[in-house]
Amino acid sequence: MKNFFNSLPTQRPSLKRTSRDLKLLFNGHKNYNKFIIVGNARTGTTFLQELINSHSQAICLGELFNPKITSPRWLSEYFLGSNVDVFWEKAPIKFLRQDVFRRVPKEIRAVGFKMTYAQGKTEQENWQNVLPYLIDLKHLKVIHIKRNNKLESHLSIKIARQTKRWHKLEKTTGKDDKNEISFSLDYQECLNYFTNIKNLEQEYDVMFKNHDTIEITYEKIAHNYQEQMGLIDKFLGLEYEVPIPNTYKIQKKPLSKAISNYFELKEKFKATPWYEYFTE
């Protein structure tokens, strides 16, 4: 995340906030493209967020409405107001209007954040009006990222939960292979996951059908992120810059080795629409 205001002379928090706000009042603007990234967990949303953030003209915040975080402040120094935590927790629409889609330096052309399907359908009472607000927000651009092979995403979630490691900040070497783990997956659990995610993808497509939307797949952005980011830069109204990744794939073991009962599952799914996920 860009540190726009680190050069300001004062270090006293209240004065620094005032200085920042005054600077943005006279030199900032709100005439930028607002956007959100929507998708399920383990579909490349964090990778995409980091690629967008590597662009000098864009700001992509994280999962602002993730109930597992206790404050949005850890996401960046972007939030300046003294009541940010209160608005975020109890007045999310005010938080979005005042603190997320705020005035920004004039070089910024796009501001957004990411939201998983589950976060959009949160059970937290104060946040239940966030998704309807976004659906009604005019000129909001939507980046919908999907993963074609839902067996891979299901496995990836299992690995992340088991290892408690959701992101990788360094490239994989051959020495990492011995640390990769294998799972036995339950047929019914896989079936429920495939069905649920497919339904959610379609539901979110309908929700944002009246918005300017671009669909990105995990497979395409993993294969050639530079080409895909060229499309996203154009979609967000940005000048093209070479994207710089900051996160990497956690496990690269083939499905047949990462899933101990892979061929058993493949046989069970043989007469179903989900058989295409078993490519080995």
The pLDDT of residue 236: 98
| Cβ partners under 8 Å of residue 67, min gap 6 | 119, 122, 124, 127
Token digits of residue 184: 């036995």
Point out which residues pair with 61 in neighbouring strands: 113
- Tell me the whole-structure pTM to 2 decimals: 0.85
The pLDDT of residue 12: 43
Out of 3.80.10, 3.40.50, 3.30.420, 2.30.29, which CATH number does the structure's domain 13-277 have? 3.40.50
Chain mean position to CA 55? 16
Closest CA to 162 of 149, 180, 139, 174: 180
Residue 96 in contact with residue 129, Cβ under 8 Å? Answer: no
Give the three-state DSSP class for 7.
Answer: coil
Sign of CA dihedral 224, 257, 267, 147: negative
Give the three-state DSSP class for 138.
Answer: coil
Give the three-state DSSP class for 161.
Answer: helix
The pLDDT of residue 168: 53
Point out which residues pair with 58 in neighbouring strands: 110
The pLDDT of residue 94: 94
Residue 163 CA: distances (Å) to CA of 167, 168, 176, 181, 224? 11, 12, 14, 9, 28
d(CA 199, CA 247): 28
Sketch the domain layout of the chain as residue ranges. 13-277
> pLDDT means per 10 residues in the chain (280 residues)?
43 49 73 97 90 94 89 73 84 94 92 95 92 96 96 88 60 51 90 96 97 96 93 97 76 84 96 94
